[in-house]
Structure 1
Amino acid sequence: MYSPIVRNRQSEMLAFRHLSKETRQHVMPIFDVATPSKTADPPSGQKYVEGNIYRTEKLAAGFSAVFVDSSELDPTFRLSGGAHPLIGAAAAVVKSGSRPIPVTGLHRDTAHQDAVFAIRKEQQQNGLCIRLDITDVGTATLTYKGIQDLLAANSIVPSLAYLLLDLQCLHGLDIEPVVKQVNRLFMLLEEDRWAGIIVGGYGMPDQLSMAVSTNNQTYLKRIEQDIFYAVAAYKMGTPIWFADYTILPPSVVELDWRLIRKVMTPKALYTLEDSWFVVRGSAFSSHPDGYNQYYSIAEEIVALDEYCGQEYSYGDKYIWDCSQRAGSAGSPASWITACVNHHVAFTANAHST
């Protein structure tokens, strides 16, 4: 099983529209309600969030279950009519025909916790997911007690609880210390059987420019996957599976195109077995090819020995067509959709066992 962690923004969510039925069988996505821009006024922010939640309803079908979270939003944010955004996200998943599993944490506010248990009651099922950050993982004994207290206070047995170990940014870290921290927590968790333990993070830097300059290309190690394989060797009675942030670190936010068009550059991250192939162009506003730089980027990807072929996924077909200069070169949003789609299909296949 594989759990991609994505914000429910248009460019990311559209990648799920084009997943095959077979791929969906191996995916339990984590849809985190995206926060509006800091410059958005309250009505615009509410419209943005509600639009993204509505899109979830259209694109969450076909998964056995979908984890829903609202970790990015201000705790005081509410939908029209005063509903908590987590409840809105869960309702959208229900309308899609899938089953929502609400996500909480050891440090969430009371309103979030109330929303989690309202969803459980509405769905007449007791499952939930507890999301742990790297600090939680590093304080294993305290964290284990917190998990036990949370479950006991709400009469939930461990076998109905999923644990998401969200290790967050792992770029540039040594694998061994991280694995030791996770295994230390595993030593406590193995006392119980859980619904599932999900381990992941992201291996690209928060700012891609830190790893690759403009008009250049490189390979980035998928360190979060290496860490997962190391900790998955720990023998437990609980299923352990992989999560990641696909090709976008959570620090990436939607910005006003009018403000950033002068400095924005085309880029693509093509997922390989143990790395990403990363290509960056020059600023759209100053390069003579402008958006047409994507044609050259596509050609670089298709020339890879590891390129999966145009029949592999929607994303691969998109890249192939662009390399053949068939139609538009695309936009930053359409390339995010294509690269996320390839990544999810490729990673789900790798972890399908």
Structure 2
Amino acid sequence: MKWKRGERTALEHLSSAIKNSITPLLEIQPVPYDHKTENFTKTIDEHLANIGKEVNNSWNSSNPIFVDALTIYDNEEFEDDNLSTGQHPLDFIIESIELEGCRAIPVTGIARDSSYQQAVFNLVQKYNRGVCIRINEEQLENMSQLETDITKLLQYIQISENAVDIVIDFKQISPSKEQAIYAQLVDCLLQFPNITAWRTITFCATSIPKSLSTIIKKFSSGVIPRAEWTIYSKIRKGNLLRNPSFGDYNITNPDFVNLPPWLLNKIISSLKYTCDTEYWVHRGDLTGNGFSSMRKICSDVVSDPRYSGQNFSYGDANIYKCANGGSTGNLETWVTAGINHHLTKVATDLSSLSSSSKSGLPPALTPQP
């Protein structure tokens, strides 16, 4: 989850049952940038000042979350590596979250710089929550090298495999390559070092593209296959030594987008609605013309058999209200609605899988079978 206001609100309004069945991985977004002045609008200290309270307000659970701070530097123009005190951002973020009463697990990867890995080491020793390691698709090409790199990282952090959460992160995938990615994932899970030893192991991906404009025109709707869910469903039907958990990027693309303000008025109002095997995407008018087109979009969703019902989630309730004369909202409203529905939908579907693991989530902080 990109740690933006819409995402925070979506998380806040999840039911307790859904919160108990998921572990969010928060990607802390870069410091805001003013395109007119060509300057950042905050220091990194100011940007992160309320992070602990934000997480506590939104998550408000005793179950832990994953925190990845590498995304702070997604804007290449940003140059401040640390806070003014010299503290590493990851260290500050995790400490702030812990001080608010939430539990946080640091996220790293095998190719991150020494200062980041030092911060991870410090946090692992201080809080004893373990660590999450993200592995990207390219790093799966040489499994022998991957095993060597993971071993070195664990030795540096001074941690054992049973305190480590592995995320095999394919990021954006193309539905046209579904079968190839399925085969690649199976091969990875067959070769992954000490597959049963890790606390958790998760397959993560999304089919949501960076831009919808070439797929779905404004004032129309269309579908994008949820290839990641289809791949995962097939994996769970296999006879692997260990089945992974499932992760995705909710209804967003993994890439960071740094839009100038004048482009915000050229964004098409839209709603991404997660269905069983597809994302049902509705696009309306330019947001500079308001969000009146959301009335028809919501009405179309509510009247369709794919609609989960107004009582399914906070997001579904807002869609129903808009369809029946309520507020047409703003850009954030429909990001929140779509993400809240998505998280509820995926968590509900996962719980219904007959072979779904009963202890595959970090909240128990026990090895996953």
Q: Provide the TM-score with structure 2 as the length reference.
A: 0.86
Contact 1:202 1:224 in 2 (8 A): yes
Bigger mean CA deviation after superposition, 144-153 or 311-320: 144-153
Equivalent residue number for residue 44 of structure 1: 42
Identical amino acids, percent of aligned pairs: 23
Equivalent residue number for residue 172 of structure 2: 169
- Relative distance call for 1:49 and 1:94 in structure 2 (3 A) is closer
| Alignment size in residue pairs | 342
Contact 1:25 1:63 in 2 (8 A): no
Structure 2 Cα separation of the partners of residues 173 and 63 of structure 1: 40
User: Letter of the aligned partner of 1:34 in structure 2?
Assistant: Q
Q: Deviations over 1:320-349 (max 9, x none)?
A: 0000112x2100111101111111111111
Equivalent residue number for residue 250 of structure 1: 254
1:117 aligns with 2:121: yes
Equivalent residue number for residue 294 of structure 2: 294
Equivalent residue of 2:287, what SS? coil
1:184 to 183, 187, 191: 187
Bigger mean CA deviation after superposition, 109-118 or 226-235: 226-235
User: Letter of the aligned partner of 1:207 in structure 2?
Assistant: S
- Relative distance call for 1:137 and 1:63 in structure 2 (3 A) is farther
Flag structure 1 segments of 5+ consecutive residues without an equivalent: 1-5
1:9 to 4, 28, 34: 4
Q: CA deviation at 1:291?
A: 1.6
Equivalent residue number for residue 310 of structure 1: 310
Contact 2:64 2:102 in 1 (8 A): yes
* Counterparts of residues 173-252 of structure 1 (less than 5 Å): 173-189=176-192, 191-192=194-195, 193-236=197-240, 238=242, 240-251=244-255
Bigger mean CA deviation after superposition, 47-56 or 206-215: 47-56
Equivalent residue of 1:44, what SS? coil
Equivalent residue number for residue 64 of structure 2: 65
- Relative distance call for 1:113 and 1:80 in structure 2 (3 A) is same
Equivalent residue of 1:253, what SS? coil
- Relative distance call for 1:108 and 1:232 in structure 2 (3 A) is farther
Structure 1 Cα separation of the partners of residues 341 and 26 of structure 2: 18
Q: Deviations over 1:160-212 (max 9, x none)?
A: 11110110111344122212222222223263411011111110111111221
Structure 2 Cα separation of the partners of residues 264 and 154 of structure 1: 44
- Relative distance call for 1:223 and 1:133 in structure 2 (3 A) is same
User: Letter of the aligned partner of 1:56 in structure 2?
Assistant: V
Equivalent residue of 2:194, what SS? coil
Contact 2:14 2:344 in 1 (8 A): yes
- Relative distance call for 1:89 and 1:170 in structure 2 (3 A) is same
- Relative distance call for 1:79 and 1:50 in structure 2 (3 A) is farther
Bigger mean CA deviation after superposition, 271-280 or 179-188: 179-188
Flag structure 2 segments of 5+ consecutive residues without an equivalent: 74-78, 357-369
Equivalent residue number for residue 320 of structure 1: 320
